[in-house]
Amino acid sequence: MTGVATARIAVDASRRLGMVDRNLYGHFIEHLGRCINDGIWGEMLKSRKFVGADSNCDGLPDPWTLPVARDPQLVVSVDETQAGSGVPCLRMRVLRDDDRMHGVAQPGLALRAGATYSLQVWVRSEGALREVEVSLGGERVRRPAPGEQWEHWDLELTARWDAADARLLTGGRGEGELWVHAPSLMPKVTRQGGGFRPEVVELTRAIEAPIVRWPGGCFADAYQWRDGIGERDSRPVVFDAAWQQYEPNDFGTDEFMEWCGVVGAEPYICVNTGSASAEDAAAWVQYCNGSPGTQWGDRRAEGGHPQPYGVRYWGIGNETYGGWEIGNVPADEYGRLFLEFAEKMREQDPSIKLIAVGADPVQLPEWNRTVLEIVGDKMDYLSVHRYVPHTRDDEQREKQYAAIVAAPVDIESRLRMVRETIDEALGPDNQVKIAFDEWNVWLQAGASEGIAERYELRDAVFAAGVFNALHRLADSVTMANLAQLVNVLPAIATSSTGVWGTPLYHAFKLYAGRCLPVVVGCECEAPTFDAAEFGNIPALSEVPYLDASATMNEEGDRLALAVVNRHRTDDLRAEISLAGIGPVQSAEVALLCGESERAAGSEHLPEAVSISAAEIEVAGDSFEYTFPAHSATVISLRTN
């Protein structure tokens, strides 16, 4: 199908249809699996505050353990004696001075030879304990026992070899007790960068993430924000009822705000309506946006952040319609709850933008209308979530592929239905926009796996189709957030020592890096296919193999034509006509592709899916171009 044009794309730059809000390329992070802890945040130790299950029945929370199966000279316990906080400490009692080190270990640590690791820890001792010893990766540090007053040590250990399963050993020599509180292990470069994994920071900056939603998701309706502020080592460990895991609260409001500053993203905070009050939410707004002199503004300043953060975007609850959500309520009750929260929050900062919980218009057709009729224009955005297909069948790969790459057609239809409901409920002149603030391909990865989906090029083709749809909906949808940025349904994936972009990441890099702010006329005619029902994706007929959107800069001298070829096996040649722009001076093609639709990046083969760029010649007001199978392409044109 490469020799003769089988499709037509007509671009009319004189038809300016709307503005693309940069927030359409937004992201979402949640305290789930390895998204934040062991993803964005660089802490290497698990259970560093000694809270968690003890599967070995050795008195130590997993994965802490004894270096030997049984040490008759050592008694260990997690003790309520605290270092000025509510966080438990580890108590090690050495029964006899046999000139040997007795202590505990944490295995499973990945190290790189020559890298320096920073261990920060609070210690104190009692009795005749003589010495404290710490070892990691072949390096050992010994220090005199600290005595009965707590001391905060900052130790550096340089690994002598690469290791996938190294152990951190900590203990004492002599006869007496060693108390250990809140040990923290990070690569030195990570510690110097504020605790954020630098490779994740670098990749996030590279896609210019404009806005990031946090802390959830389902986690948000279990989150007590006060647990995540103040001195990090003293923050409590809590059991997260949403995802059934322990949350150390090392990454809280201040860390999120600092991270957003580092990566250049605007913060979007979702408040807890499931298990917290409107007063709690208002206090959080004051903590973020209040001036010194207010109760929570002073608390923020005491923590080293005197200037208000100025958080503009606030979501009131998450998926409150769902039986899985903590604080699930009917639509009318949620509408009244929203008004209560909105009033209290705006008392602290009238300028904030508020996002209300909306629902899928097909699954819950009455939810949005009920909420809109109660809340009216007190909301700035109505939120919509959509994951597809919520099932996996690798025995029917062609059917699965067709449904997923066609799904953006259905997503666009559903978002148009939401827009119609908003206009019917509030009138055509309303200012309420849509926040498509959770969307992705979600096959069958479960919570027990940290929802760590492995993405293929197919899923990048899906994402590119969503971006084209969002361009067409730019007047209605002004925020969209891929769920999620790191490791959980990820754009960015990490191992203990490596970081790489998934195919979804490259879709963001292609579109966010090359598409422009003004949507212009673009019509596409192409052969079509039918996609059978698959999971929660309905049967779709006459889906065009080619899908296109066109954007332009405000000066009118640059144009970006974004084209998706959904065909699994065939290249498609299209005749492209241009109107409303001057003579083309230069043209570049950026192509997102791989060897097959199943191509997927990995730590050792990160470029299996990648973007390649090349210049092409465009003469006159029309040209032909062949779009490779299972690909996304942006053709960038300059007219002067």
Which CATH number covers residue 604? 2.60.40.1180
pLDDT beyond 60 at 161: yes
The alpha carbon of 201 is separated from its chain's Cα centroid by a whole number of angstroms, namely 12
The length of the chain, given as a count of residues: 640
Residues 330 and 199 in one domain: yes
Helix or strand or coil: residue 170?
strand
Residues 555 and 494 in one domain: no
Is 55 contained in some domain?
A: no
Residues 437 and 564 in one domain: no
Q: How far is CA 190 from CA 194, 200, 214, in A?
A: 7, 11, 22
Q: Write out pLDDT tens, residues 405-415.
A: 999 999 999 99
Q: How far is CA 565 from CA 193, 441, 459, 628, in A?
A: 41, 18, 13, 7
Region of poorest pLDDT, from 2-16, 157-171, 296-310, 405-419? 2-16
State pTM to two decimals.
0.96
Residues 284 and 257 in one domain: yes
Distance CA 464, CA 509 (A): 11
Domain endpoint, select from 145, 165, 190: 190
Residue appearing with tokens 């709850």: 337
Q: Read off the pLDDT of each residue in 230-249 and give the average, rounded to a whole number.
A: 94
Is 95 contained in some domain?
A: yes
Q: Is the peptide bond before 484 cis (omega within 30 degrees of 0)?
A: yes
Residues 299 and 351 in one domain: yes
Residues 548 and 495 in one domain: no
Is 508 contained in some domain?
A: yes
Residues 456 and 553 in one domain: no
The amino acid present at 274, given as its one-letter code, is: G
Q: So what's the pLDDT on residue 6?
A: 87
pLDDT beyond 80 at 447: no
| Banded pLDDT at 3 (limits 50, 70, 90) | low
Q: So what's the pLDDT on residue 70?
A: 84
Q: Give percent of the chain above pLDDT 70.
A: 98
Distance CA 272, CA 279 (A): 11
Is 50 contained in some domain?
A: no
* Tally of structural domains, the chain: 3
β-pairing, 116-136 vs 163-187, is antiparallel
Domain endpoint, select from 492, 515, 538: 515
Q: So what's the pLDDT on residue 83?
A: 63
Is 60 contained in some domain?
A: no
Q: Are 144 and 131 in contact (CB under 8 A)?
A: yes
Q: Read off the pLDDT of each residue in 276-294 and give the average, rounded to a whole number.
A: 97
pLDDT beyond 90 at 512: yes
Helix or strand or coil: residue 366?
coil
Residues 529 and 615 in one domain: yes
* Sign of the alpha-carbon torsion through 188, 193, 195, 196: negative
Domain endpoint, select from 468, 486, 515: 515
CATH for 259: 3.20.20.80
Q: So what's the pLDDT on residue 380?
A: 98
Over the range 218-245, which residues count as b (16 or more CB within 10 Å of their CB) and which as e? bbbbbbebbebbbebbbbbbbebebbeb
Residues 577 and 480 in one domain: no
Q: Read off the pLDDT of each residue in 570-579 and give the average, rounded to a whole number.
A: 96
The boundaries of the domain holding residue 599 are: 7-16+522-638
Residues 559 and 600 in one domain: yes
Q: Are 618 and 561 in contact (CB under 8 A)?
A: no
| Banded pLDDT at 1 (limits 50, 70, 90) | very low
Residues 479 and 609 in one domain: no
- Which parts of 207-349 fold into alpha helices (H)? 253-263, 278-289, 295-302, 331-348
Q: Write out pLDDT tens, residues 297-316.
A: 999 999 999 999 999 999 99
Q: So what's the pLDDT on residue 85?
A: 66
pLDDT beyond 80 at 449: no
Residues 592 and 565 in one domain: yes
Distance CA 123, CA 92 (A): 11
Q: So what's the pLDDT on residue 405?
A: 98
Report the first-to-last Cα separation within the chain, whole angstroms.
34
- Cα-Cα-Cα-Cα torsion 49, 54, 60, 62, nearest 10 degrees, comes to -60
Q: Report which DSSP code applies to 200.
A: H
Q: So what's the pLDDT on residue 482?
A: 98
* Structure token pair of residue 447: 């919570």
